[in-house]
A and B are shown apart, each in its own frame.
Chain A
Amino acid sequence: MAKTKKKKGLLFKVVAYSVCILLAILSILPFWIMFVNATRDTYQIQQDALSLIPSTHLFENLKILLGKTFDPLKGLTNSMIISTASTACTIYFSALTAYALVAYNWKLRGPFFTFILAVMMIPAQVSIIGFYQFMYKIGMTNNFLALILPTIATPAAVFFMRQFMVASLPLELVEASRIDGASEFYTFNKIVLPIMKPAMATQAIFTFVSSWNNLFLPLVLLTDSNKYTMPIMVSLLRGDIYKTEYGAIYLGLALTVLPLIVAYFILSKYIIEGVALGGVKG
């Protein structure tokens, strides 16, 4: 009995680890290729787009990169402002809205939830035309708020938070807090938010990544070079259609991705450790 169990455990480990290692290689490969290409020159890349061996042109690429309209410090700052603010808005207000949907019994709750689900389903490609013309009309081009404010209403994040709350927010805790005389707002901030940490961290990563990588909307809305984000700057490197500096583009992409990876590794600890279960355990 014990023997078969051991065997089973071993088999499990062999299978699980080989699958995981294979997937891990598949995941890391593109990053490796990107960083390697950042050290190769345009012609090397044109001849063979995929190489695993770094070359020696890193500083040349950096020179080309900085010679163009590429100012990594400015780009990083702008991207950081937009992405951080968007992420904060998304997770806080989505949690708040989801809480309104879960904790309170109000008349329009049902219709409101259905409504959120409905708008989530509208294809984005064309309502973008309307959004963009609207921003022009109200003079919000070249204004970060045009990219940040709309994230207060992120239906998909509300939906996720709601699903998470329905499954794991004990309403007894809320009631207990009320009995202690806490205000509703205080209860949300001090009792509910900590319980939501795994969900918030998850959404924070996704929101941050998509906001950071967002290209089309910023490209169209931010036309002042002082407001360019990192992806805009990288896309400009491709603007010259006859002479594309691939090495510099990869270096730009690598620089764009690095802060993301750092932010991701910081936030990922919440997902991995599953910190916030304290609220339930007590």
Chain B
Amino acid sequence: MKQRKNVSYAKYGYIFSLPFIIVFLIFSLYPIFYTAVIGFTDYKGLGVTSWHFLDNPFQNFVTIINNHSFRQALYNTLVIWILNFIPQILMALLLTAWFTSRRNKMRGKGFFKVIFYLPNIITAASIAILFYALFGYPVGPVNSLLVKLGIVDGPVYFLISKISARGIVAFIQFWMWYGYTMIILTSGVLGINPEIYEAAEIDGTTGWQTFIYITIPNLKTILLYVLITSMIGGLNMFDIPKMFMQGGPDNSTLTTSVFIYNQAFSGSYLYNRAAAASMIMFLIIAVLSGVLFYLMRDKSEIELRKEAKRLKKERLMIAKEQEAL
């Protein structure tokens, strides 16, 4: 019976995804495909209208892989992403646990939830400029604070040090996005069937147990979403490093996206190399996402299926009981 139903409704799957597919083909795929193709050509320079495929079609890819700055950018991107993602997800999980805790009802959590997302509202450009001013040298708010508190003797040139520049970029990313992640996670928690919590409460679990054994497993699909989107966003990080110090000092905050942008726009219009670099990044992200998917997929799917089966059984039982009545 189930089988027949699926067949008759399957066409709606196509119908409902049609608008997406049409718009996607027109507005996204063409530009993306265009990019993929020019990675194999000699398309560079301004106002050039014709281009040719290279004799060695992978020449641009070879050039990019051997490019010192690109390697540095790849390293920076990974480091900055990890530096911001780990504190970000931990902080978001902690806040989610606090805000959704059924035991310790916090006052004003609605207020806090709303406030924590605010940094995301201001454009990245303004935030980058703000932080640049904050860490100004020899005179700047952070420096004058440190000197006043006696932590350092003289002003520190934060923005010339590779480590502190990278740290500041990672902090800005963390600060802009933990609220976003927290909101996503809470909206995921709100989607969890409250019956499960009620059952747990009857069993007498503690707050942490509930969070670790019920909330997190049920959040897995959403966590996967957060992980993958954050990874994609993190590996494509552009606005902050670009606006903060143009990838400096000494390439220490150069991310691959800034590198790609520079290839395409900073003077030589190397569209082909920029496209090749984009494709390399695409491959890297795709492989990483694939790994993540593989690691997280089975368990959650299986659990969900189990859950669905259990619910179905319960419903059937209830129905039977009602029939019996």
Contacts and interface: CB of A to CB of B under 8 A. Distances in A.
B301 to A, nearest CB: 9
Nearest to A151: B23
Given A30-B127, A50-B141, A120-B232, A168 B193 contact: yes
A144 interface: no
Contacts of A105: 6, 9-10, 13
9 contacts: A34-B126, A100-B17, A134-B30, A153-B23, A156-B229, A199-B191, A253-B122, A260-B121, A281-B194
Interface in B121-163: 121-127, 130, 133-134, 136, 141
Contacts of A265: 114
A131 interface: yes
A274 B186 CA distance: 9
B179 A27 contact: yes
Contacts of B229: 120, 156, 159-160
Contacts of B289: 117, 121
Contacts of B125: 215
A20 B237 CA distance: 27
Given A27-B179, A97-B16, A202-B183, A126 B264 contact: yes
A170 B117 CA distance: 30
Given A26-B119, A97-B16, 20 more contacts: A20-B98, A31-B118, A94-B20, A96-B17, A97-B17, A101-B17, A104-B6, A104-B9, A104-B12, A121-B285, A123-B285, A131-B27, A163-B188, A164-B191, A164-B222, A167-B191, A167-B218, A257-B121, A264-B121, A280-B193
Interface of B: 6, 9-17, 19-21, 23-24, 27-35, 95, 98, 104, 106, 108-127, 130, 133-134, 136, 141, 175, 179-180, 183-184, 186-188, 190-194, 218-219, 221-222, 224-225, 228-229, 232, 235-236, 238, 256-257, 260-261, 264, 271, 274-275, 277-278, 281-282, 285-286, 289, 293, 304, 308, 311-312, 315
| Most chain A beta carbons < 10 A, residue from B28, B127, B190, B312 | B190
Contacts of A149: 23, 27
A222 to B, nearest CB: 16
Interface stretch (A9-17, A56-64, A78-86): A9-17
A271 B236 CA distance: 28
Nearest to B261: A125
A49 B121 CA distance: 20
Given A30-B122, A199-B187, A129 B257 contact: no
Contacts of A31: 118, 122
B12 A100 contact: yes
Given A9-B104, A166-B221, A123 B281 contact: yes
B24 A26 contact: no
Interface in A174-220: 184, 188, 198-199, 201-202, 205-206, 209, 213, 215
Nearest to A235: B125
B318 to A, nearest CB: 11
A107 interface: yes
Interface of A: 9, 12-13, 16-17, 20, 23-24, 26-28, 30-31, 33-34, 49-50, 93-94, 96-97, 99-101, 103-109, 112, 117-131, 133-134, 149-150, 152-153, 155-156, 158-160, 163-164, 166-168, 170-172, 184, 188, 198-199, 201-202, 205-206, 209, 213, 215, 231, 253, 257, 260-261, 264-265, 268, 271-274, 277, 280-281
B119 A153 contact: no
Contact of A123 (B12, B114, B257, B293): B257
A108 B17 CA distance: 11
B260 A126 contact: yes
Nearest to B110: A272
A170 B311 contact: yes
The prevalent SS among residues of A at the interface is helix
Contacts of A24: 111-112, 115-116
Nearest to A126: B278
A27 B174 CA distance: 12
Instruction: Decide if the interface of chain B is mainly helix, strand, loop or mixed.
Output: helix
A213 B133 CA distance: 21
A147 B250 CA distance: 36
A58 B278 CA distance: 45
Given A123-B256, A125-B238, A152 B19 contact: yes
Contacts of A264: 114, 117, 121
Contacts of B16: 96-97, 99-100, 104, 188
B10 A271 contact: no
Contact of B133 (A49, A128, A272): A49
A216 B259 CA distance: 17
A260 B14 CA distance: 36
Contact of B32 (A103, A119, A231): A119
B304 A167 contact: yes
**Which 3 residue pairs of A and B lie closest in terms of their CB atoms, listed nearest first?**
A130-B31, A168-B191, A106-B13
Contacts of B311: 170, 172
A26 B127 CA distance: 12
B142 to A, nearest CB: 10
B19 A96 contact: yes
A188 B9 CA distance: 13
Nearest to A166: B221
B197 to A, nearest CB: 11
